Amino acid sequence: MAVPTSFEVVHICGHTVSHDLSNRSADQRAGYARWLTERKCTDCWRADHRADATSTAEWLAAKRAEEQAAASAWATQFDMPELEGPEKILGWGERCRHQLVTGAYEALVTEGTWDEADWAQLEEQIRLLIRTGWWVDQRGADGADLPELLDAATDADRPTENPFR
């Protein structure tokens, strides 16, 4: 009697699926069929993974929308100008600016030695920087470094001055 090539496998999900194992050697088919019983059938496996991917994408989209709303509300409250740059990264730039500036306020004023007047001065510098790409580039930066980053950015826009003249 020849070793069968077709196996009826009852998967862990309860579905019975007939598997053609003719592409496996005769002595491996039974072991493979047994291993399959501990797995979900292909349909269930696919459905699970689709559900995972969908919920991750939905979660990310919801989180992004929430951050975007917070960034927009913040920009309005603190009279921050609209950013300029490629349309598709405008929202991203706005979220980066919000995150970095609130981080800077926390580091310099709330936990630091700056007073509101110092901060107001920095805020003026922040308002001048409307290049969305710049904010996106600083996304990993520490809030406490914002004054230095702003100085570097505004220096680059100014013609260099000779300090010895």
Which residues of this protein are in contact with Zn ion, per CB under 5 A? 13, 15, 41, 44
Torsion of CA 42, 44, 49, 51, to 10 degrees: 150
Do 142 and 107 touch, CB atoms closer than 8 A? Answer: yes
Which residue, 13 or 30, has its beta carbon nearer to Zn ion? Answer: 13
Residue (48 or 155) nearer to Zn ion, CB: 48
Tokens of 42: 């292909």
Work out how close the CB of 11 gets to Zn ion at its nearest, in angstroms, rounded to a whole number: 5
Own/partner long-range contacts of 61-70 (Cβ < 8 Å, ≥24 apart): 64/95, 67/95, 67/98, 68/94, 68/95, 70/98
CB of 19 to Zn ion, least distance (A): 13
Least distance to Zn ion, CB of residue 33, Å: 16
Lookup: tokens for 126? 């922040």
Give the 3-state secondary structure of residue 17: strand
Region of 14 on the Ramachandran plot (φ > 0 left; ψ -120 to 50 alpha; else beta): left
Nearer to Zn ion, 15 or 64 (CB): 15
* CB 22 to Zn ion: min, Å: 22
Instruction: For Zn ion, give the closer residue by CB, 41 or 108.
Output: 41
